[in-house]
Structure 1
Amino acid sequence: MGSLYRIACGIGLTVMVVACAQAEDWKVAKNEEGIKVSLSDVAGSQYKAYQGVATIKAGIPRLRALQEDVAAACAWIHECKSQKILKHEGDKTWTYTQFNTPWPVTPRDSVLEITTVEGADGSLTRKLLGQPKYIPEEKGFVRVAQVEGYWKFVPKGDNLTEVTYQVHTEPGGSVPSWLANKFVVDAPFNTLKALKEHAEQ
């Protein structure tokens, strides 16, 4: 029984390691203007996870303020049409966002639960979790089925902050592969580029 237990644990550990390795197997898709975008396959999904990393000449308080001004943040979030706060409670905020999509794809909307965590090292993490059933679906929009990711801000001294934006999305409905492949590169790149421009003004 002891041997069987050890074998079972060993197999379980191997599966966990493989899953983690797959989730972290990032391949650089774009590296321009100080912004690096990497993609990773996600087990059981036809859509890749994306990760954008950039160093911005602004402190964390400035970046946090831009993030927490939810309506105005739509100006720098890729393909954002409108955005609003649904509820704020403690370290959690629920937001509703409508996105533009090219014809003939039906526009998407999403509900996010955002949890803000302050690190002992001065870093700030904003965890993103889709809550598609939080409010009724809107006519003319397809609700994004799943969102999981985070924003992470790490101070680098001299008013510099390393910003990481990582997300995996199940967009719901039918999305052409060309659009999905374009989105996972454009979303982090354009979002970080616009955030950088706003933060460094």
Structure 2
Amino acid sequence: MNKQLMIFSTVMLFSLFCKGQEDWKLKQSKEGIEIYTKPLENSHLKGIKVKCALPVTLSQLVTVIMDVNTAAEWVYSTKSSTLLKKVNAGELYYYSEVSLPWPISNRDFIAHLKVTQDPHTKVVTIDGPVVSNYLPEKKDIVRVRSSYGKWVLTPQKNNVKIEYTLETDPGGSLPAWLVNLFVAKGPHETFKNLKVQLSKAEYKNVTLAYIKE
């Protein structure tokens, strides 16, 4: 490869990288919770990214997130959430139904959560893709077939930095006002509730053998 071609290729790669970085736009910043959105490819829907930092431990956060039977207590608009299969301490499948205002049909999904931790940085990642065919569909509930959530938990001196991203297609036809509700209000309420959930006694002094603080 000649020098000019190398320079051109480098510039093109850099511009593509910058474009990808600029896709996320700050939608709302309130109470220490930042919400970003970006258009999803080939869709009228938006991806969501939430950033905040909480004065808790990695074990506390992982425990709350993986305690899926209590998700209705803090995840916005969750009607029910039930553990289906626990593969091991850091991997599980669960079912959840999302409540939507009448006359719109509720949505449901089956998610596969898996926890990993970088042994050097101690950064914890929790991947949560949906597994749409894990259970038969239910009458009058729309099954979410395309969705991917991801938690990245980065330990800092006095807190844990949280970055949560969600790219989902809820299926069916949804009015714009409802989509916008879940883009801003939903994530904000969820993370406000997460703070409250983490303060409960059962999560206060929890430690996990597979998580290094």
TM-score interval for Structure 1 and Structure 2 normalised by the shorter chain: 0.7 to 0.9
Matches within 5 A, 1:1-201: 18=16, 21-22=19-20, 25-90=23-88, 91-120=90-119, 121-158=121-158, 160-201=159-200
Q: Which amino acid aligns with 1:70?
A: V
Say which SS state the counterpart of residue 29 (structure 2) adopts.
Answer: strand
Q: Percent identity?
A: 28
Measure the CA separation in 1 of the matches of 2:16 and 2:111.
29
Give the superposition deviation at 1:73: 2.1
Given the superposition, is the C-alpha separation of residues 44 and 64 from structure 1 closer, same or farther in structure 2, using an over 3 Å criterion? same
Measure the CA separation in 1 of the matches of 2:17 and 2:105.
33
8 Å CA contact 1:122–1:154 kept in 2: the answer is yes
Q: Which amino acid aligns with 1:79?
A: S
Q: Which amino acid aligns with 1:161?
A: V
Deviation track 1:162-193 (CA, whole Å, cap 9, x = no partner) reads: 11111011001111111112211122211111
Give the superposition deviation at 1:132: 1.1
Q: Which amino acid aligns with 1:200?
A: S
Question: What TM-score, normalized to structure 2?
Answer: 0.82
Deviation track 1:99-125 (CA, whole Å, cap 9, x = no partner) reads: 110112101101111121112222211
8 Å CA contact 1:37–1:188 kept in 2: the answer is yes
Measure the CA separation in 2 of the matches of 1:187 and 1:127.
20
Q: Which residues of structure 1 form unaligned runs of 5+?
A: none
Give the superposition deviation at 1:145: 2.1
Moved over 6 A (4+): none
CA-based RMSD = 2.4
Q: Which residues of structure 2 form unaligned runs of 5+?
A: 201-213
Say which SS state the counterpart of residue 73 (structure 2) adopts.
Answer: coil
Measure the CA separation in 2 of the matches of 1:85 and 1:151.
19
Measure the CA separation in 2 of the matches of 1:40 and 1:172.
18
Question: What TM-score, normalized to structure 1?
Answer: 0.86
Measure the CA separation in 2 of the matches of 1:75 and 1:138.
23
Give the superposition deviation at 1:134: 1.4
Say which SS state the counterpart of residue 157 (structure 1) adopts.
Answer: coil
8 Å CA contact 1:22–1:40 kept in 2: the answer is no
Count of paired positions:
193
Measure the CA separation in 2 of the matches of 1:136 and 1:19.
41
Measure the CA separation in 1 of the matches of 2:91 and 2:84.
11
Q: Which amino acid aligns with 2:148?
A: E
